[in-house]
Amino acid sequence: MEGSIGLYERTLRIRSQHVTCCRRLRLSALLTFFQEASIAHTEALGVGREKTLDRGLLWIITKQHIDIRRMPEYDEEITIRSWPGETMHVLFPRFYEVICRGDVIITGSALWMLIDAESRGFIFPDEYGIEIQNMDAGRTLPLPDAIRDRLPEAGDPRIHTVPRTASFSLLDINGHINNCGYFDLTDDLIPLSVHASAHPGTVDAEYLSEIRPGEDFEIAWVEEDGSWLFEGRSDRPKFRIKFTGM
């Protein structure tokens, strides 16, 4: 069943374009699946583009949390499930599960909000008649939280940096780098030997400020005891991503 009102559910097969050279699902592909599930279910719940995009409102994600027991592999069949939580003022919580061979192998959550396409500031959904009801799926999953860790001070030998630019291929329909694209950028900074032997046990991300077309920024990172902390920044921090358990 796809696009159920109470609980979104979609079954799909992992294809070659979804996996890395290690034949495991890319993090960016996993998050794309979650993003597509969120949009499809939100539309099924009566909040389609005529209430948002066509009125100059854009959905964005502010924070994400993912727990990974096992990453799906090439040619496996998985089921994505998603449901909304109780709206928190301007934040719309959403929860996710990935089922493979009868087991829940991945769980996750995200905090969504709506911004004005012109001002790029958040909007109050009540003022636009936008409401998404809480749907209890019988499971309690943790909400995302802020990443408390910070990178070492500049000049610390443990820290690495690399320059990047918001090129055309990284941009999405909202006119900025999509959150999923950050994971391809950070994955590129982890040695192949690490990818081959492990995947993150947990993933946390917070998106602090959007990166717009042509904008130059740098990614700084540090690795310690299987924990990788990344920060994208230009004049100020743009995003933080943390992988643990690698």
Residue 185: strand, helix, or coil: helix
Count of structural domains, the chain: 2
Cα–Cα distance for residue pair 42/47, rounded to 1 Å: 6
Domain encompassing residue 61: 1-145
pLDDT of 6 above 90: no
Cα–Cα distance for residue pair 111/94, rounded to 1 Å: 6
Looking at the fold, whether 175 and 122 belong to one and the same domain comes out as: no
Pairing mode of beta strands 202-207, 103-116: unpaired
pLDDT of 203 above 50: yes
CATH number of the CATH domain containing 86: 3.10.129.10
Given the structure tokens 């500049």, which residue do they identify? Answer: 154
Q: How far is CA 192 from CA 29, 60, 76, in A?
A: 18, 31, 22
Q: What is the mean pLDDT of the chain?
A: 93
Q: How confident is the model at residue 5 (pLDDT cuts 50, 70, 90)?
A: low
- Considering 106, 126, 145, which residue would you say is the last residue of a domain? 145
pLDDT of 35 above 80: yes
Looking at the fold, whether 117 and 221 belong to one and the same domain comes out as: no
> What does the pLDDT look like over 81-121, one tens digit per residue?
999 999 989 999 999 999 999 999 999 999 999 999 999 99
- Considering 145, 172, 189, which residue would you say is the last residue of a domain? 145
Looking at the fold, whether 74 and 95 belong to one and the same domain comes out as: yes
Alpha carbon 128 to chain centroid distance?
25
Element (H, E) at 193: helix 192-197
Alpha carbon 58 to chain centroid distance?
16
Structure tokens at 62: 């502010």
Looking at the fold, whether 117 and 214 belong to one and the same domain comes out as: no
In single-letter form, the type of residue at position 52 comes to: T
